[in-house]
Structure 1
Amino acid sequence: MTPPTSVAPEAETPSAAKQGPAGRRIRIDVRHLSLLGVLLALVVVGAITKPDEFLATDNFRLILTQASVIGVVTVGVTFVIIGGGIDLSVGAIVALASVWATTVATQEYGLAGMLLCSLLVGLGCGLVNGLLIAYGPMVPFIATLAMLASARGLALQISDGKTQVVTVQSVLDLGVPDSYVLGVPPIVLVFLGVGVLGWLVLNRTTFGRRTVAVGGNPEASRLAGIAVKRQRLLLYLLSGLCCGIAAFLLIILTGSGQNTNGNLYELDAIAAAIIGGTLLSGGRGTILGSVLGVLVFTTITNLFALNNLQTDVQQIAKGAIIVAAVLVQKGRFTP
């Protein structure tokens, strides 16, 4: 009996498509256009309420800088969710990596030592998550929840609850205007690079197609010859790597390491992925949508700060956006 096979759907699923004049297929993703419309609306609101402050070049640079750290985390989380998993430990991993990379012993090795430490801690945590989930097997929710608690506890133990100040000048120099490239901070350039690389991996590689297939139907993927367990392990390794990168960016941004770093990053990253079109059930999602989701949330935060509005109202607005995005996914609203 011939085993059934599965065909992996395209990662970037268009909401509409048409043929151009020369027979060329033009793909139009309504969800992306909707997010761009939301961003434009936020810019209009900012231009009306606080034109001088919001439209300033420094403010746009601030928005991009603040979006960069959580944006890198969101890229990793998007891969995990598309693959049918969930990662609640990303914020705690960022905290642990930032603390471990800013200890006195680690800082003695300079910028390279701190960067390597941050990446290794992220990969190590991702490896543990992947092994527990893929080969444990444990439910992703439980395994990553356990990692959340353990990583937070270890970060607190290493730092003794204190802020660890960075003394390596080459690291601090990456956060000053003199290091900007054409007016763009290095942190933003890293975010851009991670986003572009994530898009290429998801849409132009076998790894990306396997991720979509495993998230859509793991049993059919197994019968089609895909190593489902190994794929899940690799996805959590990727998520951990993104957390390590984000931790180092946060070190540059703040000039320190703290056990409170990355607080609620897991919720922000999952929310950004959801409003960007990633299905929580797996099998579909876009990196571009997730990046736009991060920018929407960061711009909302910036607008609320400029207008001195309460944080609780900001959270309500974010919650409403998440609910609307999920209802669109369910097909109750026509975009």
Structure 2
Amino acid sequence: MSEHSTDPGTNRAPDLGAVENPVAPTTGTIQVERTAAESGRTSRGAGLMSGAVGRNSGLVLALLAICAVGVATAGDRFASIDTMVTILRLASIVGVVSIGMTFVIIGGGIDLSVGAIVALSSVWATTFATQTMAEDTHWIVMVFVALAVGGACGLVNGVLIAYGNVVPFIMTLAMLAAARGLAEIISERRTQIVNVEGFKDFWTADVVGVPLIVVIFALVSVGGWLLLNRTTFGRRTLAVGGSPEAARLAGINVKRHTTMLYVLVGLLCGLAALMFLARTSTGSSTHGTLLELDAIAAVVIGGTLLTGGRGTIVGTVIGVLIFSTLSIVFVLNNQDSSTQAVAKGLIIVVAVLLQQRLARRSTS
């Protein structure tokens, strides 16, 4: 009889612990736990790289590469505090508009009229009547006019797109033509000078040595990130862009939310117009020319899908910095705008390829 068989006299099972090796199960458990921990760390790392960090890594590498080229070709002229401030000033206006464009594209739309809205807002805020009223009361009148004009244009876009079922591309293209034409009519194609001293003193001031428009860009970026990632508005934007029908069935008023997205980008265009006034002290129908293309390019290479449903504010900010840094590098090296345009196209392709490669590596 085997020593492991049941004792017929006592009908008890034998003591297996006295025979089997008690160390084996413990060693096996430790190995399983170590494997699980390593697998968990790998999964967390893969998830991190496939998320925002992975998508932005290619952009950071592209930005660092451009900075390296700037240092190598322009030396101390590029690697200076003044140049860094110039880059940020150049990025500020495009950056503010790009934040609004990010929300619109994530929500499944697009806005080709942002440059024209900026021009119209700048012209309307610097008309003789507006500036006279500002001098008689307070320069804040000019701020209100610029924001009101931008918000009104965004409202028209949003209502006709959401409730009139006009395709966003067509509606915003029509607004582009109309707003630019109205700006030319109001200004009579003349540059309007800002004469309100209080306005100029405030908007051209520095905050701890940093230009106010750069501070505004930083605040809008932080606010945009919080709005997209920490509020119901941001979650609804992602839902509407991902699947409008599913968002509607979930109880989201898709039409109203779409309208709000276009009003948001319109208000930011009004803010960008004020930043134009601060930088140039003029209102002009030529302000914001091709601004929509720069904004869309920054948003797309920043990782936001043109089909909607996914996007990142951080990526958009890095995309804007890439283009502004590239512009400064070309200026310092006396390169023409045509060469700069070709380089912009190459930067877009390289950044997208790097993002795709990092995403494939993280998933594998």
Q: State the TM-score, normalizing by the size of structure 1.
A: 0.89
The answer for the alignment partner of 1:192 in structure 2 is 218
Q: Which has the larger radius of gyration?
A: 2
Does 1:282 find its partner at 2:308? Answer: yes
Amino acid in the other structure paired with 2:293? L
Question: Please, which of 47, 62, 69 is the counterpart of residue 71 of structure 2?
Answer: 47
Q: Aligned partners of 1:259, 1:334: CA distance in 2, in Å?
A: 45
Say if 2:58 and 2:351, in contact at 8 Å, map to a contact too. Answer: no
Does 1:126 find its partner at 2:154? Answer: yes
Does 1:38 find its partner at 2:62? Answer: yes
Displacement of 1:116 in angstroms is 0.4
Q: Aligned partners of 1:20, 1:253: CA distance in 2, in Å?
A: 49
Amino acid in the other structure paired with 1:63? I
Displacement of 1:332 in angstroms is 11
Q: Aligned partners of 1:161, 1:319: CA distance in 2, in Å?
A: 32
Q: Aligned partners of 1:151, 1:130: CA distance in 2, in Å?
A: 15
SS at match of 1:197: helix
In structure 2, the CA distance between the partners of 1:19 and 1:246, relative to structure 1 (3 Å rule), is: farther
Q: Aligned partners of 2:317, 2:45: CA distance in 1, in Å?
A: 27
Deviations 1:62-84 (A, max 9, x none): 11011000100000000000000
SS at match of 2:310: coil
In structure 2, the CA distance between the partners of 1:135 and 1:328, relative to structure 1 (3 Å rule), is: farther
Displacement of 1:149 in angstroms is 0.2
Question: Please, which of 176, 181, 188 is the counterpart of residue 148 of structure 1?
Answer: 176
Q: How does 1:162-311 map to 2 (within 5 A)?
A: 162-174=190-202, 176=204, 179-311=205-337
Displacement of 1:334 in angstroms is 4.2
Displacement of 1:53 in angstroms is 1.2
Q: Aligned partners of 1:24, 1:271: CA distance in 2, in Å?
A: 29
Q: Which runs of 5+ in 2 are unaligned?
A: 1-38
In structure 2, the CA distance between the partners of 1:291 and 1:19, relative to structure 1 (3 Å rule), is: farther
Displacement of 1:59 in angstroms is 1.1
Residues matched between the structures, number: 315
Say if 1:328 and 1:334, in contact at 8 Å, map to a contact too. Answer: no
Q: Aligned partners of 1:275, 1:242: CA distance in 2, in Å?
A: 21
Structure number with higher helix proportion? 2
SS at match of 2:139: helix
Say if 2:54 and 2:358, in contact at 8 Å, map to a contact too. Answer: no
Q: Aligned partners of 1:185, 1:55: CA distance in 2, in Å?
A: 19
Q: Which runs of 5+ in 1 are unaligned?
A: 1-17
Deviations 1:201-255 (A, max 9, x none): 0000000000001001111111111111011000000010110100001100100
Deviations 1:300-327 (A, max 9, x none): 0110011001211111111122234455
Question: Please, which of 106, 121, 125 is the counterpart of residue 97 of structure 1?
Answer: 121
The two structures, once aligned, show a CA RMSD in angstroms of: 2.2
Say if 1:94 and 1:261, in contact at 8 Å, map to a contact too. Answer: yes
Larger displacement relative to structure 2 (98-107 or 45-54):
45-54
In structure 2, the CA distance between the partners of 1:284 and 1:26, relative to structure 1 (3 Å rule), is: closer
Deviations 1:275-304 (A, max 9, x none): 000000000000110010000000001100
SS at match of 1:50: helix
Say if 2:55 and 2:359, in contact at 8 Å, map to a contact too. Answer: no
Displacement of 1:171 in angstroms is 2.0
Does 1:58 find its partner at 2:86? Answer: no
The answer for the alignment partner of 1:314 in structure 2 is 340
Q: Aligned partners of 1:330, 1:217: CA distance in 2, in Å?
A: 23
Deviations 1:28-51 (A, max 9, x none): 412212212222111111111111
In structure 2, the CA distance between the partners of 1:58 and 1:234, relative to structure 1 (3 Å rule), is: same
Identity %: 56
Q: Aligned partners of 2:273, 2:196: CA distance in 1, in Å?
A: 16
Q: Aligned partners of 1:105, 1:94: CA distance in 2, in Å?
A: 19
Displacement of 1:333 in angstroms is 8.0
Q: Aligned partners of 1:261, 1:68: CA distance in 2, in Å?
A: 14
Q: State the TM-score, normalizing by the size of structure 2.
A: 0.82
Deviations 1:100-138 (A, max 9, x none): 001111112142011000000000000000001000010
Larger displacement relative to structure 2 (271-280 or 305-314):
305-314
Does 1:78 find its partner at 2:102? Answer: yes
Q: Aligned partners of 1:209, 1:45: CA distance in 2, in Å?
A: 39
Amino acid in the other structure paired with 2:106? I
Say if 1:47 and 1:54, in contact at 8 Å, map to a contact too. Answer: yes
In structure 2, the CA distance between the partners of 1:97 and 1:272, relative to structure 1 (3 Å rule), is: same
Displacement of 1:19 in angstroms is 6.3
Larger displacement relative to structure 2 (55-64 or 236-245):
55-64
SS at match of 1:60: helix
Say if 2:58 and 2:358, in contact at 8 Å, map to a contact too. Answer: no
Amino acid in the other structure paired with 1:170? G
